[in-house]
Amino acid sequence: MITYFYWIAVIAIAMAFMFFLGRADKWRSGLIAALVVFVIGWAAYFFHFQQVFVKHYGGVMSITVPPGQFHIAATWKDDHLWIENYEPKTNTCHFKEYSRGNLLQGTVTIKNCNPLLPDTMPAGTAAQQ
């Protein structure tokens, strides 16, 4: 929800620049100022606020699991999100970091991972818990 408030605020500030500079017959300056506000707001969101909003304030974020992989787990390390996926074709687990702005992304690959998926467990072990 805070993500929506952020974007409403960025758009309102950009429109205020256009409105007040437009009333002073400086439409070109107003349009340039609005564009600068919008670009700075987008960059601040993408490179800083997105994961902070999601982790601390219930923001909105979407991640797609790559084709051919199964999602296993997700965890936070500071303000960076780590996603674990399993790829059955190669029998590997992939930990992928989603950092702010996607600039410093780490990847860890575990070979012969073999997570305990229901179809790979021996018969009768699932009922013995």
Cβ 71 vs Cβ 65: under 8 Å: yes
**Residues of the domain holding 110:** 70-117
Task: Say yes or no: 38 and 80 in one domain.
Answer: no
Q: Give how many domains the chain has, as a whole number.
A: 2
Asked if the structure places residue 78 within a domain, the reply is yes
Check pLDDT > 60 for residue 55: yes
Per-residue tokens: 41: 């707001």
Range among 27-31, 35-39, 74-78, 103-107 rated most confident: 35-39
- Predicted local confidence at residue 125, as pLDDT: 45
Per-residue tokens: 65: 């699991």
- Predicted local confidence at residue 127, as pLDDT: 44
Task: Say yes or no: 84 and 45 in one domain.
Answer: no
- For residues 53 and 31, the model is more confident at 31
* Count of helices and strands (H, E) across the chain: 3, 4
Asked if the structure places residue 65 within a domain, the reply is no
Asked if the structure places residue 129 within a domain, the reply is no
Asked if the structure places residue 51 within a domain, the reply is yes
Asked if the structure places residue 127 within a domain, the reply is no
Check pLDDT > 80 for residue 117: no
Task: Say yes or no: 13 and 49 in one domain.
Answer: yes
Q: How big is the chain, counted in residues?
A: 129
- Predicted local confidence at residue 121, as pLDDT: 47
Cβ 102 vs Cβ 116: under 8 Å: no
Asked if the structure places residue 128 within a domain, the reply is no
Task: Say yes or no: 79 and 41 in one domain.
Answer: no
- Predicted local confidence at residue 119, as pLDDT: 59
Bridge partner residues of 77 (DSSP)? 80
